[in-house]
Chain A
Amino acid sequence: MILGKVIGNVVSTIKLPVYQGYKILIVQPVNDREESQGESVLALDTVQAGVGDTVLVIDEGNSSRLIMNNSTAPVRTMIVGIVDAIK
Chain B
Amino acid sequence: MKLGKVIGNVVCTQKVESFQDIKLLLLQPLNEKLEEIGDPVVACDTVQAGINDIVFYEGGREAALGLKNWFNPSDLTIMGIVDQVNIGE
Shortest CB–CB separation between residue B85 and chain A, in angstroms?
5
**Separation of A8 and B81 alpha carbons in the complex (Å):** 17
- The total of chain A residues at the interface (CB under 8 A) is 28
**Separation of A8 and B88 alpha carbons in the complex (Å):** 5
Residues A12 and B65 in contact, CB atoms below 8 Å apart: no
Residues B82 and A76 in contact, CB atoms below 8 Å apart: no
Determine the main DSSP class of A at the interface with B. Answer: strand
Chain B residues engaging chain A, CB cutoff 8 angstroms: 1-3, 31-32, 37, 46-48, 56, 58-66, 70, 77, 79-89
Contacts A11-B85, A42-B1, A76-B62 aside, 19 further interface pairs with beta carbons under 8 A come to: A8-B86, A9-B86, A11-B82, A12-B56, A15-B56, A15-B80, A15-B81, A16-B66, A26-B85, A39-B31, A40-B31, A51-B88, A61-B60, A73-B65, A74-B58, A74-B62, A74-B65, A76-B58, A77-B1
